[in-house]
Amino acid sequence: MSHDTAPDPAAPVSALADLTGRAALVTGASRGIGYAIAAELLGRGASVTVTARRPDELELAVRELAAAAGDPEAKRVLGVPGNAGDDEARAEAVARTVERFGGLHILVNNAGINPVYGPLMDADLGGVRKIFDINVVAALGYLQQAHRAWMGQHGGAVVNIASSAGLRSTGVIAAYGASKAALIRLTEELAWELGPSIRVNAVAPAVVKTRFAAALYDSGEEQVSRAYPMKRLGTPEDVARLVGFLASDAAAWITGETVRVDGGILSTGSLG
């Protein structure tokens, strides 16, 4: 179905959620949220390319994803190692996806870094530049490549992984939060520029139990969780299910949106 055509209003939700026949690229997907998103898309029937910097971790992820999807020969899973900040690596991931699966219908910009903690007045500017390069510029770079290779002619859906730190100040991960605020604005600009054939949305998780976010809850998960109305931290699957929805035809009239998946923490007026 063309992405500028409204889905059948009588279609069952299961049909709208189905991604069979579509190809997805998920960046930073060897573990954590990216891995869970790749598994979710595979479970909905998509073929998925995953990227990561470390080839050994990526190879293991591909095997595990394929096995969980009932695809032991990995016909629907492709791993392309590379750094999200590298122009050639982005181009290769997109080109190999189109070559292997015949298209690129879904792009999930999940790759992100946060090497800078604490006050901005003490921040190393080289580290800040790197955060923005990976968290913002690389996301645009992947979409530029996807647009040239496939989406510009055929349409598609893009989901950017932002953060609740991009919606409210933390005082702890300030540079990261500023980069995610920029990604949220980028999402809105791209939705306006690329509609109606390409939908661009973002999700904004709060603290999710991953190795990436461990520093935010290692001092006491139970204490951190008490600040959340849901009384627990997020899981990668909490985020992945939302991404699967936004990538599907069930979200056919949603674009330019940033959806919070935060256990209610922003409703309390703080980030804990």
Contacts of 226 (CB under 8 A, 6+ apart): none
Cα–Cα distance, 134 to 31 (Å, whole number): 17
Task: Please check whether residue 36 lies inside any domain of the structure.
Answer: yes
pLDDT (tens digit, 9 = 90+) per residue, 179-207?
A: 999 999 999 999 999 999 999 999 999 99
Supply the pTM of this predicted model.
0.94
Task: Please check whether residue 11 lies inside any domain of the structure.
Answer: no
Query: In terms of residue numbers, what domain contains 243?
Result: 16-260
Could you give the number of structural domains in the chain? 1
pLDDT (tens digit, 9 = 90+) per residue, 96-147?
A: 999 999 999 999 999 999 999 989 999 999 999 999 999 999 999 999 999 9
CATH number at residue 129: 3.40.50.720
Task: Please check whether residue 270 lies inside any domain of the structure.
Answer: no
Three-state secondary-structure class, residue 116? coil
* Cβ atoms of 115 and 131 closer than 8 Å: yes
Pairing of strands 106-109, 258-261: unpaired
pLDDT (tens digit, 9 = 90+) per residue, 18-52?
A: 999 999 999 999 999 999 999 999 999 999 999 99
**DSSP codes, 64-116:** HHHHHTT-TT-SSEEEEE--TT-HHHHHHHHHHHHHHHS---EEEE-------
* Cβ atoms of 200 and 160 closer than 8 Å: yes
* Cis, peptide link before residue 196, omega less than 30° from 0: yes
Catalytic machinery residues: 176
Instruction: Fill in the amino acid letter for 166.
Output: G
